[in-house]
């Protein structure tokens, strides 16, 4: 699987992909589409990919997400808050590992008891 094939996938609920042909470019686009699709409880997004540059920084995966806030709890654990156009706020926890042989792993798992927040909830 490569970045172009990844972009063509229509199913957005659970996605676990491991490919040396996927780069951060494909992951960025798929991450944005996945968040916008409002994935429900039990959904998983996991990518094992090879960055296109040795100078790649994990924060650049999230740099294009204008409606998202990322905070790092630890060097490998992050929280993401994403606001949909409807005002719903999706808050997930994720993990990011800079692994062996140049591979990187990003994973977001949505718990079965998860519920979205709404702006009016604050």
Residue 122 covered by a domain: no
Position with higher pLDDT, 35 vs 77 = 77
Residue 73 covered by a domain: yes
The whole-number pLDDT of residue 84 equals: 86
Residue 99 covered by a domain: yes
Q: Which tens digit of pLDDT belongs to each residue from 52-103? A: 988 889 999 999 898 999 999 999 999 999 998 888 888 889 999 987 788 9
The whole-number pLDDT of residue 71 equals: 95
Predicted confidence band at 117 (pLDDT cuts at 50, 70, 90)? confident
Residue 120 covered by a domain: no
Phi, psi of 59 (to 5 degrees): -65, -25
| Stretch (H or E) spanning 4 | helix 3-7
Position with higher pLDDT, 39 vs 78 = 78
Residue 75 covered by a domain: yes
Residue 83 covered by a domain: yes
Flag whether pLDDT at 111 surpasses 80. Answer: yes
Domain span at 26? 3-114
Give the residue-averaged pLDDT of 98-122.
79
User: Which residues have a Cβ under 8 Å from the Cβ of 25 and sit 6 or more positions away?
Assistant: 3, 52
Q: In whole numbers, what is the pLDDT of the chain averaged over residues?
A: 84
Residue 78 covered by a domain: yes
How many domains does the chain fold into? 1
Give the bridge partners for 83, in sequence order.
Answer: 89
């Amino acid at each position: 699987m490569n970045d172009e094939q990844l972009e063509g996938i229509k199913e957005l609920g659970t996605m676990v992909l491991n490919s040396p042909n996927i780069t951060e470019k494909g992951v960025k686009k798929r991450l944005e589409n996945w968040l916008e699709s409002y994935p429900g409880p039990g959904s998983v997004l996991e990518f094992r990919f090879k960055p296109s540059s040795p100078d790649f920084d994990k924060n650049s995966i999230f740099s294009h997400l204008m409606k998202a806030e990322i905070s790092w709890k630890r060097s490998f654990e992050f929280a993401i808050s994403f606001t949909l156009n409807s005002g719903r706020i999706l808050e997930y926890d994720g993990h990011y590992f800079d692994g062996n042989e140049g591979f990187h792993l990003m994973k977001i798992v949505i718990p079965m008891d998860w519920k979205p927040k709404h702006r009016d909830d604050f």
